[in-house]
Structure 1
Amino acid sequence: MHLKIRHRTEYRYETPVRYSIQELRLTPITNAGQEVGKWKINTPIKASNSIDAFGNHCSVFVQESPYTSMMIEAEGEIRTQDAYEFIDNQKAVSPYYLLQQTNLTEPSEEMLAYYASKLPKKNSVDDVLKLATAIQETIQYVPGQTNFATTAAQSFIMKSGVCQDHAHVMLGLCRASHIPARYVSGYFFAEESPNLASHAWIDFCSDIDKGIWTSVDITHACLVDARHIRLAIGKDYYSAAPVKGVRTGGGGEELSATISIQKLP
């Protein structure tokens, strides 16, 4: 598919923000499943660009003048194709590092007991897909009940969440099964489900020696395909977040994010 993507993030504050640092992972890279054409990011001031340890494009900008609103926009065109295997040629981050749990992924004893019969015995596609299906059936997709700080254990207690929560539960259980796994942030094209435009899924390492990672969408209990656009990878949501930052001042914050994905001829 040939897709045009627009992603706008707007912040408004009660009182002036005196100082802030924003870190963006909003630039997709060309890989087996996607070819990036035009792409640009508009920020209030010029950003510095780098490649992080996971191979993500990272942009950082610092604002030292007071402001009460801020707009960040990313847009571009991408051609996608069905692909669910990705080779980590850089091997900048060892798969063994991705066996470590984080606060967002740490499974509870109740989680481990509940999914005991579904935990993968090996890092095969069939075994991992069975676990994805079990999570999808248990954790109902219900927007608005969780947020970026909700942990896998909390989502499991509520038996509800969104794609981010599905990914964190899956990461926790894969890592508990000694399978390296990483968080993937990105977009999902589905004309009938615009609320899924911002999406998340996981990669698990299906061949450690060859650096082969297989992508699984837990929310849809399937391997990823041409509908998925990858933005960034990390240990969890926080390390792969499209937009994150810290600030001094501002008081209350109002955040609005809009994403449109249009299929081009």
Structure 2
Amino acid sequence: MKRATRRTCYLALGIFVTSLQGLSPLAAEEPTLARLSFWVPPERMAELEAMYEKQVVPVLKRHEFTESSHPRRPTADSVFSRLFEFRHPVEVSPKLEELWEDPAWRELRRNLGTAFATGDPDGLIAFESHLYQTPSGPGSTLEAGRGFRQDLWHTLGFKDGVHFGVHAILQDRVGHLWLGSAWNGISRYDGTHFTTFTEADGLVSNRVESILEDGNGNLWVGTGWGLSRYDGRQMENFSRADGLGGNLISCLFEDGNG
């Protein structure tokens, strides 16, 4: 609950992980990027930029956040963002935890919340911390168990490779089953093996709520903290910073226009 509360105020700053890839083929030496985003009224952007340089940058440097010169993806005119380089997505969470525990960071969040009058009940600016875009990891694969049969039913359970708390299920165009679990990401069942993709493989959150395959064969995964699109090669993740009304995606539907 403490973590969720931190993320609910109007003025938020989001940290997302992205890779230097765009639509081009991925290169092994390309670094992972984190995107730092602030939401402010467009007319106050210059004010925020000045405060960012004087107050935010020194704190981030102490925590070894290295700013990147890679071009930023266009955002809404109310979003101020910067990119930072990391060697691997798994490095981001520990850095964020360190940042949370730094008294200087807490004081900075309070100062910004006061300056823009949009803080949470504690007067602090909340920030999001989840993957933005990464090369998809290989997932973890295990051989499925046989399950057991009773009349017409063939049941597969935890001991057969199914994670607890399946919230969503989808059969894709090639016949594979995708199972979205409450806390363990999404698993693909090909009839003999389960391959599971989690946050470590680029999924925005391990709490899966919904699954959709679009007309182009992309898999969309709605989670408790944003939306992931998987094309078989990379994960691209979306959150409130990208225009979503909220980060809890409990249902997905593709309309006639795609």
TM-score (norm 2): 0.25
- Answer with 1 or 2: which has the greater Rg: 2
- Bigger strand share: 1
Quick one: higher RCO (CA 8 Å, sep 6+), 1 or 2? 1
